[in-house]
């Protein structure tokens, strides 16, 4: 039985009718037009594709099927991607997993995440969370990779050699790498943002935008200055300073066109300060990586201290090792996921999006059915 007669009547009244022909105006995904045409043909209807109207925001919808569709929640939680912008889902997922792995580097804990992903994919009781299994699996893989690099297997047990460095032994080096990684991610997002600025307002707007070409040149110039200073190469420092100055001039001119000189100076200062705070925020990749390693070390040291103390000590050591690692896995997994999302949204997505898009919400007619058992005819139907 139709339960949406009023909604259907409302749609019919919104149509344009001339003689015996009625037309309804709406949006449809491009890949759904053919199927829609076939369905309408059965009731003597047709689809007429019209030119895109000027000045109207086209509704947008990210992919919903396959592995990529299961990753779109990373983007949709932040907002709706404008129709003209590029879908950032692959880059967003890659950056999230990379940052998560750096903060959650442990072969044992990464393996537990992989097992959780398998449970999400195949266990019927977790069916409503099934879309999350690719993200959980990816996080488990990156956790294992960084665990091998750190030499961590349920803490510093020695079961896995450190192929790169041990976080608690080289915290400064880990901090430097975290900032460099953050700079690389930020540069990629600024390039992505420059592409979106071109799509949204043309090359002129992209040239002067802090989240456009000028922003990319500014970050490149500052990177050259830092690299030249670190390597004591004056020519590289000068080249970087020239690029950074040119970028600042472009940004200043862009803000001057939107307001006065004083406002442009304030906006320019805010741009430089914001870029510095963006880079500094990525130090949390090292900080939480150190925290994870420290928790693993505490659990392992407690286990080692109890193990030699007879049967009771061995039993206590096993309990401390299992309970401690489960607690560290649950606590760190939640905290690290939140921190990775925080960096994704505040430091990276803010450089990609300048405006929110309009979500595509397809209209449908609500339908309910009434089922009556053959042996209960004459009785009240159950819904």
**381 pLDDT more than 80:** no
Write down the pLDDT at residue 196. 87
* Cβ atoms 119, 140 nearer than 8 A: no
Write down the pLDDT at residue 316. 93
> Average pLDDT over the chain, rounded to whole?
88
**179 pLDDT more than 90:** yes
Q: What gap in Å lies between CA 107 and CA 321, rounded to an integer? A: 15
Alpha-helix residue ranges (DSSP H) falling in the chain: 5-13, 33-41, 66-71, 73-76, 89-103, 107-122, 133-150, 171-201, 203-208, 213-231, 234-258, 261-281, 284-306, 310-342, 350-352
Q: What gap in Å lies between CA 137 and CA 192, rounded to an integer? A: 26
**134 pLDDT more than 90:** yes
Query: Residue 129 to residues 79, 117, 126, 133: CA-CA distances in angstroms?
Result: 21, 10, 6, 8
Instruction: Tell me the pTM.
Output: 0.86
- Each residue's pLDDT tens digit, 9-19: 877 888 888 88
Write down the pLDDT at residue 52. 84
* Residues 6+ positions from 30 with CB-CB distance below 8 Å: none
**Mean pLDDT of the region 130-150:** 95
Question: Which one has a higher pLDDT value, 255 or 104?
Answer: 104
**120 pLDDT more than 90:** yes
Write down the pLDDT at residue 342. 93
- Each residue's pLDDT tens digit, 250-277: 999 888 877 778 888 888 888 888 888 8
Question: Which one has a higher pLDDT value, 260 or 167?
Answer: 167
* Cβ atoms 302, 210 nearer than 8 A: no
């Amino acid at each position: 039985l139709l339960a949406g007669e009023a909604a259907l009547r409302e749609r019919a009244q919104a149509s344009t009718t001339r003689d015996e022909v009625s037309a309804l105006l709406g949006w449809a995904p491009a890949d759904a037009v053919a199927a829609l045409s076939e369905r309408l043909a059965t009731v003597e209807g047709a689809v007429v594709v019209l030119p895109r109207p000027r000045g109207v925001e086209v509704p947008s919808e990210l992919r919903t099927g396959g592995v990529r569709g299961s990753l779109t929640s990373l983007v949709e939680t932040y907002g709706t991607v404008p129709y003209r912008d590029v879908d950032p889902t692959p880059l967003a997922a890659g950056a999230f997993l990379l940052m998560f792995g750096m903060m959650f580097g442990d072969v044992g804990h990464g393996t537990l995440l992989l097992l959780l992903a398998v449970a999400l994919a195949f266990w019927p009781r977790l069916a409503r969370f099934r879309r999350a299994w690719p993200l959980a699996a990816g996080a488990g893989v990156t956790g294992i990779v960084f665990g091998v690099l750190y030499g961590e297997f349920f803490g510093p047990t020695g079961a896995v050699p450190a192929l790169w460095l041990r976080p608690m032994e080289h915290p400064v080096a880990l901090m430097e790498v975290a900032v460099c990684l953050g700079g690389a991610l930020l540069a990629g997002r600024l390039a992505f943002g420059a592409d979106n600025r071109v799509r949204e307002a043309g090359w002129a707007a992209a040239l002067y935008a802090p989240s456009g070409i000028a922003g990319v040149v500014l970050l490149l110039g500052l990177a050259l200055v830092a690299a030249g200073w670190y390597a004591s190469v004056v020519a590289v420092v000068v080249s970087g300073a020239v690029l950074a100055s040119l970028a600042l001039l472009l940004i200043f001119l862009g803000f001057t066109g939107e307001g006065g000189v004083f406002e442009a100076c304030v906006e320019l200062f805010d741009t430089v300060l914001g870029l510095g705070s963006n880079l500094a925020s990525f130090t949390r990749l090292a900080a939480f990586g150190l925290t994870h390693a420290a928790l693993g070390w505490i659990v392992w040291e407690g286990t080692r201290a109890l193990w030699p103390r007879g049967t009771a000590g061995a039993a206590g050591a096993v309990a401390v090792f299992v309970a401690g690692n489960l607690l560290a896995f649950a606590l760190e997994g939640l905290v690290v996921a939140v921190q990775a999302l925080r960096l994704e949204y505040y430091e990276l997505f803010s450089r990609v999006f300048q405006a929110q898009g309009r979500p595509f919400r397809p209209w449908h007619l609500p339908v309910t059915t009434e089922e009556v058992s053959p042996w209960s005819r004459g009785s009240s139907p159950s819904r």
